[in-house]
Amino acid sequence: MTTKTLTIIAAAVLGLAVLAFGKEAISYLSGALAHTWNTMKDTIPHDLEIPRLKSMLGKLDAAIERRRAALIDMQLQSERLEGEIKSLCQRLAADRAALEKAADLLEEEQDSYVIDRSVIRCDAFASHTLRLLQPEVCLCTTDHDA
């Protein structure tokens, strides 16, 4: 049978069902199809179903292990990021303390300052403050171990 023939037969059956059952035709047909499907499933021997089910369980176990590995990786990454955040917070606190110290020194208006065992002359103090804010920019000259 061709697809065209099967389509015509299905349309004819549907038309007859609508004529016979009226508005509930879909309900009757879906019930009949469900009953037919369950009958077909019940005729399959259980010995044939067991290998198929074992195969499905094996696939599920593999999927669970993949998800578990991904979860462990995410947890390790989360812990690493938390450590980085803690380190950055400590660095931020140290930088804030250094900036507060620099602000206090600016108010004193001296000719030179000693910060972290480095003598900083007044003309270079603004550059040193800039270096504290942006470590990659270093415009000041200092005398170390003063």
Whether pLDDT at 106 is above 80 = no
C-beta atoms surrounding 48 within 10 Å: 8
Q: Which of 43, 61, 77 is the last residue of a domain?
A: 43
Are 102 and 120 found together in one domain? no
Are 104 and 115 found together in one domain? no
pLDDT recorded at residue 43: 81
pLDDT recorded at residue 78: 95
Are 123 and 143 found together in one domain? yes
Are 58 and 68 found together in one domain? yes
Are 9 and 57 found together in one domain? no
pLDDT category of residue 80 using cuts at 50, 70 and 90: very high
User: Which residue would you say has higher pLDDT here, 138 or 48?
Assistant: 48
Are 38 and 5 found together in one domain? yes
Are 28 and 71 found together in one domain? no
- Domain span at 11: 1-43
pTM: 0.39
What is the distance, to the nearest Å, from the Cα of residue 18 to the centroid of all Cα atoms in its chain?
51
pLDDT, tens digit, 9 for 90 and up, residues 13-32: 878 878 887 778 778 778 88
Are 80 and 114 found together in one domain? no
Mean pLDDT on 40-63: 85
pLDDT category of residue 145 using cuts at 50, 70 and 90: very low
Which amino acid would we find at residue 41?
K
**H-helix segments, the chain:** 3-21, 25-43, 46-108, 122-133
As a whole number of angstroms, the distance between CA 16 and CA 28 comes to: 12
As for how many domains the chain has, the answer is 3
Are 102 and 64 found together in one domain? yes
Question: Do the beta carbons of residue 118 and residue 142 sit within 8 Å?
Answer: yes
Whether pLDDT at 127 is above 70 = no
Are 13 and 53 found together in one domain? no
Are 57 and 101 found together in one domain? yes
Are 80 and 91 found together in one domain? yes
